[in-house]
A and B are shown apart, each in its own frame.
Chain A
Amino acid sequence: MANYSANQFKNGLKVMLDGDPCSMLDVEFVKPGKGQAFTRVKMRNLITGRVWERTFKSNESIESADVMDTDMEYLYGDGEMWHFMDPNSFEQVAADQNAIGDAAKWLKEQDKITVTLWNGNPIAVTPPNFVELEVIETDPGVKGDTAQGGSKPATLSTGAVVRVPLFIETGEVLRIDTRTGEYVSRA
Chain B
Amino acid sequence: MPDSLSDWQPSAALAHLRQRAALLQSIRDFFAQRHVLEVDTQILSHCAVSDPFIDSITAQYQSVPGGDIQPLYLQTSPEYAMKRLLAAGSGDIYQLGKVFRNGEVGRRHNPEFTLLEWYRVGFSLGDLMDEVESLVSAQIPGLSWQRVSYRELFLHYLDLDPWTASLEQLQQACRQQIEAAFEDDDRDTWLNLLMSHLIEPQLRGAVFVHSYPPTQAALACVRQDADGLPVAERFELYIDGLELANGYHELADSQEQAARLTADQQQRAALGLPQRPLEQRLIQALQQGLPDCSGVALGVDRLLMRQLGVESIAEVLPFSFERA
Contact = CB atoms under 8 A, between A and B. Distances in A.
B197 A29 contact: no
Interface string B1-25: 1000000000000000000000000
Interface in A26-81: 27-38, 40, 52-60
A40 B197 CA distance: 9
- Interface size, A (range): 20 to 34
A134 B30 CA distance: 70
B130 interface: no
A52 B177 CA distance: 12
Nearest to A56: B182
A33 B244 CA distance: 9
A185 B303 CA distance: 48
Contacts of B179: 52-55
B105 interface: yes
A11, A27, A32, A38: most-surrounded residue (chain B CB, <10 A): A32
A35 B178 contact: no
A34 B216 contact: yes
B189 to A, nearest CB: 6
Contact of B196 (A30, A53, A57): A30
Given A32-B195, A34-B246, A57 B107 contact: no
A73 B109 CA distance: 43
B182 A36 contact: no
Contacts of B270: none
B279 interface: no
Contact of A30 (B105, B188, B197): B197
B193 A55 contact: yes
B218 interface: yes
Contact of A35 (B53, B104, B180, B271): B53
Nearest to A27: B106
Nearest to B51: A34
10 contacts: A30-B196, A32-B243, A34-B53, A35-B216, A36-B192, A37-B104, A38-B193, A52-B179, A57-B189, A60-B182
Given A31-B53, A35-B191, A54-B181, 6 more contacts: A32-B192, A37-B53, A55-B178, A56-B180, A56-B182, A60-B182
